[in-house]
Amino acid sequence: MTIDLVTGNVTTIRVQDQEFDVVRHIHSSLVLFGRGTHVFVVRDKAGQCHILKDAWLLVGHGLSEITSLSEINHIIKEDPSPDGAAYRSNATMHPQFVVGQDIGDSTKERRGRLTDKPPERVHRRIVTGPVGDPITSFRSRREFLQVILDCVKWLDFLHNKVKMVHGDISINNIVISRAPAPPPRPSKGHSKKVSAAHPLPILDEQIPTFGVVIDYDYARQIGTVLNQTSGTPPFMPLDALRFPGKYLHDPRHDLESLIQTAISVMTFCDGPCGVRRTITDYVPISRWFNEIDREQLFKDKSVDLKLYSDTEIEDKLAPYWKSLSSCVRQLIKATWNQPLSSTIHQDYVKILENALRSLEEEVSADYGVVHQKRPRPDSADESRYPGQYIKFRRTNDLSTRRLPRPAHIQLLSRWEDSVDAI
């Protein structure tokens, strides 16, 4: 790992014999204790972008994302079914394993002679793909439903072909993979300058979109019993909240977490691209995110989900999603149906496809706001706006050269907390 001594930013990271340039640091752990996870968007020597995750994992965890993703990619490569062929034909439709490495570093050695040592952790790096957008970046109801449908089909493949469960479906572990076509290259002899006669091509609105399940730290073979549960509390299956000891995660539990993720998005987002509800709105499921007692969370979610139509949850869906309330009701009924259907994945697919067919036409939101660059001032403006002109000068004059700000190291005793400006 190479760090810029002036800015403190990570510039390159090596995993095994491959070196990756850091494009952006997109996540870092907010607490001092735990896995200390850092996530980067990186670029390999061929110019392809990937996700690099650097984390410290419990030795007693007993699971390896490197092993899980290697097995998944092997099954996709060897599976002769139409599903396997579809995933082989488009790498943006499924998780990809690029390279991984156990660094060989351990907290046991770093903590020295501490008397009360926390559980031992080991250092691991893994590079995966594809690079996706958050699930809340959906541009329309249709795109969101299609993302959930893609996740259901992928979980069907994961459960029935790979014979593996994910173990931690949540809002952070589902991304929208978008694969726009590369821009056309100008032919030889043509100027790259854009003119009114030869404008740039307009962005294609039909960019292929896929829902992809990521983060396989807790993935394991079906039937594996762990000494502890796995998952993110607001999206945990009910059984995981009820039995904190030895725990068997079934395929149904992944679907249960998926429907809770969908309900959360449809409750807190009141429009495409992450438009939030007003702060004064009453949102009953907010207690899923604030309750720290697992037994109480189990009781709350049991009532909210199993008695969905008789509680406030359905009434409090954001207005944007009211037309899909019957779809959510059918998914909940299929999830907690007794006895559980052996074709639950197909039941999910049927419900979501029917909902897609019944959706009204909707104009998709923009991908993002594009800010136009300020025009460079011409020479006539130099005398009128010297301060503005100097920003655009490209000379070797020391007065106009931009220099990095050096790092100033001071005593900790001089540190002062920031205060709000009056």
- 133-144 pLDDT tens trace: 999 999 999 999
- Joined together, the tokens standing for residue 304 give 């909210």
What pLDDT is stored for residue 409 in this prediction?
A: 63
- What was the pLDDT predicted at 371? 45
Token pair for 55: 């984390």
Q: What is the total count of domains within the chain? A: 2
Q: Is the pLDDT of residue 372 over 60?
A: no
Rounded to an integer, what distance in angstroms lies between the CA atom of residue 266 and that of residue 11? 38
Cβ neighbors of 130 (< 8 A, separation 6 or more) are 91, 92, 96, 175, 177, 179, 212
Interval 324-343: pLDDT, tens:
989 999 999 888 877 777 88
Q: What is the CATH number of the domain that holds 307?
A: 1.10.510.10
pTM over 0.85: no
**pLDDT tens, residue by residue, 180-199:** 766 566 555 555 554 545 55
Whether residues 237 and 123 fall in one domain: no
Residue 143 lies in a domain: yes
Name the residue range of residue 332's domain. 132-179+208-362
Q: At what angle do helices 251-268 and 325-335 cross, to 10 degrees?
A: 160
119 and 173 share one domain: no
In a domain, 154, yes or no: yes
As a whole number, mean pLDDT of residues 345-371 equals: 82
Query: For residue 331, what pLDDT is reported?
Result: 92
How much is the pLDDT for 391? 46
262 and 351 assigned to the same domain: yes
354 and 218 belong to one structural domain: yes
Between 355 and 399, the more confident residue is 355
Report if residue 35 sits inside a domain.
yes
pLDDT of residue 203 exceeding 70: no
**What integer best gives the mean pLDDT of the chain?**
81
Q: Is residue 223 part of a domain?
A: yes
Top-confidence residue, 158 or 402? 158
Cα–Cα distances (Å) from 152 to 35, 133, 234, in that order, read 29, 18, 19
200, pLDDT greater than 50? no
The answer to whether position 407 is within a domain reads: no
Q: What is the mean pLDDT of residues 57-78?
A: 87
- On whether residue 321 sits in a domain, the answer given is yes
- Please write the tens of the pLDDT for every residue from 80-130: 999 999 999 888 889 999 999 988 888 887 777 777 777 888 889 999 989
116 lies in the same domain as 212: no
- pLDDT for 369 equals 46
Distance CA 268, CA 144 (A): 14
All residues at 6 or more sequence positions from 138 whose CB lies less than 8 Å from its CB, including other chains: 144, 147, 176, 272, 273
Quote the pLDDT of residue 413: 66
